[in-house]
């Protein structure tokens, strides 16, 4: 497992499922989190690819194992995420053509920060 993925896992605050259709995973990324390195010096923000990886990790936690990333669709990133912000990953999932598809909303302090669809393979 990569250092980045290990640090994402160690940043999990908690997980929940409101029902069988909607799921949530909360994170708080500390200032020393590896994902902030070099993005941007003096004004760190969480890169889009880390938001995608955090969503993938949340879906893997819920499903009990690795789910290889196949595709990211319709991604839109609207707010910056800074160290110490409370980040929510909210998603619904379904199986399409053998892949697990997650429709994801990322929130920061309760406000929508990003939306995208993840297509994950089934190991």
Task: Quick: pLDDT tens for 71-120.
Answer: 999 999 999 999 999 999 999 999 999 999 999 999 999 899 999 999 99
CA gap 11, 81 in Å, rounded: 14
Residue 18 has pLDDT above 70, yes or no: yes
pLDDT value for 41: 84
pLDDT value for 123: 66
3-state secondary structure of 25: strand
- Listed by start position, the domains of the chain span 3-120
Q: What is the pLDDT of residues 39-77, one digit of tens each?
A: 888 899 999 999 999 999 999 999 999 999 999 999 999
CA gap 52, 48 in Å, rounded: 6
Residues 6+ apart with CB under 8 A from 77: 48, 51, 113, 114
At residue 5, φ and ψ (nearest 5 deg) are -65, -40
Spatial CA neighbour of 33 closest among 71, 72, 76, 87: 87
- Of 1.10.3720.10, 3.40.630.10, 3.10.129.10, 3.40.50.300, which CATH number belongs to 3-120? 3.10.129.10
């Amino acid at each position: 497992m990569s250092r980045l993925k290990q640090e994402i896992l160690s940043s999990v605050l908690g997980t929940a499922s409101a029902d069988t259709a909607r799921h949530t995973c909360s994170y708080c990324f500390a200032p020393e989190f590896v994902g902030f390195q070099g993005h941007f010096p003096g004004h760190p923000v969480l890169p889009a690819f880390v938001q995608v990886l955090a969503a993938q990790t949340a879906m893997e936690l819920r499903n009990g194992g690795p789910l290889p990333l196949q595709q990211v669709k319709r991604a839109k990133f609207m707010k910056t995420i800074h160290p110490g912000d409370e980040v929510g990953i909210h998603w619904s999932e379904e199986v399409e053509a053998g892949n697990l598809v997650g429709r994801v909303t990322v929130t920061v302090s309760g406000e929508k920060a990003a939306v995208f669809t993840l297509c994950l393979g089934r190991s």
